[in-house]
Amino acid sequence: MDTQVIIGIVVVVVPLLALIAGTGLVLRRRRQISLTDTQTQTVDGGREVDKSGGYRAGSGFAFSQGGTATADPEAAGEGVAEEAERILAETQPDVVRPVDEDPLAQLPGTQVPVDDDAMAVETAVTAAETEAAEPETAEPETAAPELDEIAPTEGRLSRLRGRLARSQGAIGESMLGLLGAGDLDDDSWEEIEDTLVMADLGTAATEAVVTALRAELATGKVRTADDARGALRKVLVEQLHPQLDRSVRALPHAGGPAVVLVVGVNGVGKTTTTGKLARVLVADGRRVLLGAADTFRAAAADQLQTWGERVGAGIVRGKEGADPASVAFDAAVTGIDDGVDVVLIDTAGRLHTKAGLMDELGKVKRVVEKKAPVDEVLLVLDATVGQNGLTQAKVFAEVVDLTGVVLTKLDGTAKGGIVFRIQDELGVPVKLVGLGEGADDLAPFEPGAFVDALL
């Protein structure tokens, strides 16, 4: 063949083959399913930020993102910057990172105090890393503590329903007994009212339940015991406002980690709840940092540290009597620097005057907001204290903007009805319930499952 013809064929065929191969590759790529989670998006610093909003990541717990705004010192109030700087200059909280994550913790005796200057932390970390890289001079490594196995987070409320057995007697059995007896006379209705009041529903919720039940019975469709149970279930679930958003705003956002404040009077179960919540988040694959801002009682910080160590969560704690706001602030700073997903701050509740509470909690929130928005303020209430709990709740609601309630010790009371009142009177949803002293005895509050457990 003539050389010119061969050159001509090469000139035409090679680009054609290249074109066919290129088109095929593009089409093949388009047909491939992307394994990248479209719900997440990488932001500055390479940390993945969950964009899913409310989700149930393999657990019955719903978590969501709070505000995405970065902390604005102006928005945090006048003089807050100065206030934060002053209290930070006065105190030096300690940071204890989990052994397997913290280069400092690879070396013995490395629970170094960290001051407010992030540079100091970085310098210390770099020094420790350098040391760790030279095994001949380094001390033997401390063995990582064994981490707890966390009980499955799915279906917790159903699994723990036996714990509500005491409440069951109060609402379920007697109400169903009365409703199942057929036509109800005035005495029976009065007895129903008494049962509901005794179970701590309060007058407003009791009246609402009774009115709705009368309406259900008036339809004439309630003939059997099963019908009665169905009608009662429907009415009680409606009274619990199932449409309320009960997701805990504990997911990181573009501004940094989520910040959750846990508040309440002493003894209600704040520290325990903070620890239990950390476990749920860790089980869902989140990196958690704890802030021990309850500085009134050294044991409270020890208790929280133990909770953290059991699941590999770090902690920022201060000396006994340190300013809680400075510990909370430092927890936020450390959480941002370490790129954790969520900072859970346990606060003190040992305040007997509203003014004192106002000062302290208000300050904790303001100072934290200098660094990061507070996404969730969870009020912990002890279900066994009844009316007193509501009075406390109202004081807290005046001091900080509550976003959710955790009702603890529901396993030890016949007064599960308090759930109805809290929501009605505070206008804040019950998001979580404590059903025992065990590490995994925390469940999401689900109206349907809760009422099923009562009936």
Is position 267 annotated in a ligand binding site?
yes
Only one of the segments 60-68, 237-245, 262-270, 314-322 lies at the binding site for ligand GTP (rule: CB under 6 A); that segment is 262-270
Q: For residue 376, state whether it binds ligand GTP (rule: CB under 6 A).
A: no
Is position 38 annotated in a ligand binding site?
no
Write the CB contacts of 151 (distance below 8 Å, at least 6 apart in sequence). 439, 440
106 contacts 393 by C-beta, under 8 angstroms: no
Is position 133 annotated in a ligand binding site?
no
Q: Which residue has the tokens 């065929």?
A: 13
Is position 384 annotated in a ligand binding site?
no
Nearer to ligand GTP, 279 or 409 (CB): 409
Is position 350 annotated in a ligand binding site?
yes
Nearest to 273 by CA among 344, 357, 360, 376: 344
How far is the first Cα of the chain from the last one, in angstroms, to the nearest whole number?
A: 94
Is position 219 annotated in a ligand binding site?
no
Collapsing DSSP states into helix, strand and coil, what is residue 397?
helix
Binding mask 398-437 for ligand GTP (x = CB under 6 A): ----------xx-xx---------------------xxxx
Collapsing DSSP states into helix, strand and coil, what is residue 185?
coil
Site for ligand GTP in 191-250 (CB under 6 A): none
Is position 210 annotated in a ligand binding site?
no
DSSP element (H, E) containing 324: helix 324-338
138 contacts 131 by C-beta, under 8 angstroms: yes
Only one of the segments 49-57, 233-241, 292-300, 417-425 lies at the binding site for ligand GTP (rule: CB under 6 A); that segment is 292-300
Residues contacting ligand GTP: total by CB under 6 A: 21
Is position 365 annotated in a ligand binding site?
no
Site for ligand GTP in 42-61 (CB under 6 A): none
Own/partner contacts of 227-232, CB < 8 Å, gap of 24 or more, are: 228/176, 228/179, 228/180, 229/176, 229/179, 229/455, 231/179, 232/175, 232/176, 232/179, 232/455
Q: How far is the CB of 297 from ligand GTP (least distance, A)?
A: 6
Q: Which residue is nearest to ligand GTP (CB)?
A: 434
Q: For residue 270, state whether it binds ligand GTP (rule: CB under 6 A).
A: yes
Distance of CA 238 to the CA centre of its chain: 25
Among 52, 168, 174, 266, binds ligand GTP (CB under 6 A): 266
Q: How far is the CB of 422 from ligand GTP (least distance, A)?
A: 15
Nearest to 93 by CA among 75, 107, 114, 124: 114
293 contacts 324 by C-beta, under 8 angstroms: yes
Q: How far is the CB of 197 from ligand GTP (least distance, A)?
A: 24
Residues flagged as binding site:
264-271, 346-350, 408-411
Residues flagged as binding site for GTP:
264-271, 346-350, 408-411
Q: Give the interface with ligand GTP as residue ranges (CB under 6 A).
A: 264, 266-272, 294, 297, 300, 349, 408-409, 411-412, 434-437, 441
